[in-house]
Chain A
Amino acid sequence: MLYVKELYKSYEAGKNKYEVLKGIGFHVAQGEFVAVMGPSGSGKTTLLNCISCYIPFDKGNIKLGGVELAGMDEEELARVRNTKIGFVFQDFMLLDGLTIRENILVPRIVQGEVPGEAEKLADQLAAMFGIGHILNKYPAEISGGEKQRAAVARSLINNPLIILADEPTGNLDSKSSRAVIETFIHAKQKVNATIFMVTHDSFAASFCDRVILLKDGTIYRQLEKWEDRSVFQDQLLDAIKEMSET
Chain B
Amino acid sequence: MGQVINMRQMEQKLQRADRKQSRLYLFCNFMALMIISAYSALMLSPTVQKVFPEGGDSRKQMYMIFVMTLLGCVVFTIYALGLFFRHKSRQLGVLMALGASRKRLAPGLYREVILLSGVSAILGTAAGFPFVWGIWHAFRLFLVDSSDMVLTFDFRCLFISLLFLLLVVGFAGLTAWRYLKKTNIMEVIREEHINEPVKELGRWCGPVGFLVLLTGAVLGYGAPLACDKWFSMFPPVWVSVFYAPVFVGLYMIMLHTVVHGWKSHRKNPYKNIISRSMMKFQGKQTVNNLLVVTLLIAGGCFAVFYLPTNGISAVLRYASLPYDYFYKYQADQDMPDRTEIEALGREYDLSLKDWNECDYVTVGMGGMAKIYEEDGLRYHIEYVPMQQEAMVLSEDAYQMITGQEVDVEPGTYWCLNDKAETSLYVNDSAKEITNMTTRKVLATEFAGFLHYDHLAETIPCCVLDNADYALISEGLTDDWRGRFVAFNVDGKDSYPFANAFFRLFVSSFDESCERPSYYDRVQKIRENEEGKEYWGDTDDMTTIRYEMADSFMFRNFWVYMPSFRILSQNDYLRNMAVMFMMFLFIFIVCMITALVVCYTRCQSIALNNRYIFDDLKKLGASPVFLDREVHSQCGNVFKVPSMVGTTAMFLLFSMILYANDGRMLKTEWMAMGVCLCIIAAIGGVIYAVYRSSVRAIKAQLQI
Contact = CB atoms under 8 A, between A and B. Distances in A.
Given A54-B185, A110-B95, A97 B16 contact: yes
Given A95-B94, A102-B3, A109 B101 contact: no
Given A95-B91, A98-B13, A110-B7, A56 B184 contact: yes
A95 B94 CA distance: 8
Contacts of A49: 185-186
A81 B99 contact: yes
A101 B186 contact: no
A82 B100 CA distance: 7
B94 A112 contact: no
Contacts of B94: 93, 95, 106
Given A56-B183, A97-B16, A114 B6 contact: yes
A55 B104 CA distance: 19
A64 interface: no
Interface in A60-105: 74-75, 78-83, 85, 87, 89, 93, 95-98, 101-102, 105
B189 interface: yes
Contact of B6 (A55, A85, A112): A112
Nearest to A55: B184
B514 to A, nearest CB: 71
Interface size class of A (residues with CB under 8 A): 35 or more
Contacts of B407: none
Nearest to A84: B99
Nearest to B9: A109
Given A49-B186, A55-B186, A56-B183, A98 B4 contact: yes
A81 B17 contact: no
Interface string B142-171: 000000000000000000000000000000
B98 A74 contact: no
A101 B3 contact: yes
Interface in B89-130: 90-91, 94-104
A74 B102 contact: yes
B100 A55 contact: no
A210 interface: no
A217 to B, nearest CB: 18
Nearest to A87: B97
Interface in A183-236: none
Contacts of B651: none
A95 B14 CA distance: 8
A93 B13 CA distance: 17
A54 B10 contact: no
Given A110-B7, A114-B5, A154 B13 contact: no
Contacts of B96: 78, 81
Contacts of A158: 99
Given A56-B183, A97-B18, A105-B4, A110 B98 contact: yes
Interface string B269-287: 0000000000000000000
Given A55-B186, A96-B17, A78 B10 contact: no
Which of B5, B18, B99, B187: most chain A Cβ within 10 A?
Answer: B99
A145 interface: no
Contacts of B95: 106, 110
A107 interface: yes
Interface in A40-55: 49, 52-55
Contacts of A113: 5-6
Interface in B7-47: 7, 10, 13-14, 16-18
Contacts of B14: 95, 97-98
Contacts of A52: 97
A107 B98 contact: yes
Contacts of B97: 52, 54, 81, 87, 89, 93
Contacts of B184: 54-56
- Which of B4, B18, B187 gathers most chain A CB within 10 Å? B4
Contacts of A89: 97
Contacts of B16: 97
B101 A75 contact: yes
A173 B22 CA distance: 35
B155 to A, nearest CB: 41
B7 A112 contact: yes
A89 B95 CA distance: 13
A78 B104 contact: yes
Nearest to B103: A75
B193 to A, nearest CB: 11
B400 to A, nearest CB: 85
Contacts of B5: 109, 113-114
B10 A102 contact: yes
A129 B269 CA distance: 51
A97 B13 contact: yes
Given A95-B91, A98-B10, A109 B183 contact: no
Given A79-B101, A109-B7, A110-B98, A97 B17 contact: yes
B607 to A, nearest CB: 14
A95 B95 CA distance: 9
A112 B16 CA distance: 20
A56 B185 CA distance: 9
Nearest to A45: B186
A190 B501 CA distance: 105
B178 to A, nearest CB: 15
Contacts of B104: 78, 110
Nearest to A54: B185
Contacts of B7: 109-110, 112
Given A98-B13, A106-B95, A107-B99, A93 B189 contact: yes
Contacts of B13: 97-98, 102
Interface in A106-124: 106-107, 109-114, 119
B184 to A, nearest CB: 5
A165 B90 CA distance: 18
Given A96-B17, A97-B16, A98-B10, A79 B3 contact: no
B100 A110 contact: yes
Interface string B173-192: 00000000001111101000
- Of A89, A109, A114, A119, the most chain B CB neighbours within 10 A belong to A109
A119 B4 CA distance: 11
Contacts of A53: 185
Contacts of B100: 78, 82, 110
Contacts of A112: 6-7
B6 A82 contact: no
B103 A109 contact: no
Contacts of A74: 101-102, 183
Contact of B185 (A55, A95, A98): A55
Q: Which of A55, A78, A93 has the most CB of B within 10 A?
A: A78
A78 B189 contact: no
A56 B6 CA distance: 29
Contacts of A119: 3
Contact of B99 (A55, A56, A95, A110): A110
Nearest to B101: A78
A158 B97 CA distance: 14
B6 A81 contact: no
Given A97-B16, A97-B17, A98-B14, A79 B99 contact: yes
A52 B3 CA distance: 29
A93 B93 CA distance: 9
A154 B99 CA distance: 12
18 contacts: A49-B186, A55-B183, A55-B187, A74-B102, A75-B103, A78-B96, A79-B101, A82-B100, A93-B94, A95-B94, A97-B14, A101-B3, A102-B4, A110-B7, A110-B95, A112-B7, A119-B3, A154-B98
Interface of B: 3-7, 10, 13-14, 16-18, 90-91, 94-104, 183-187, 189
Given A97-B18, A110-B104, 14 more contacts: A54-B97, A55-B184, A55-B185, A74-B101, A74-B183, A78-B101, A79-B99, A83-B99, A97-B16, A102-B3, A109-B6, A109-B10, A112-B7, A114-B5
Q: Which 9 A-B pairs have the closest CB atoms?
A: A82-B99, A97-B17, A78-B101, A110-B100, A54-B185, A81-B99, A97-B14, A102-B4, A114-B5
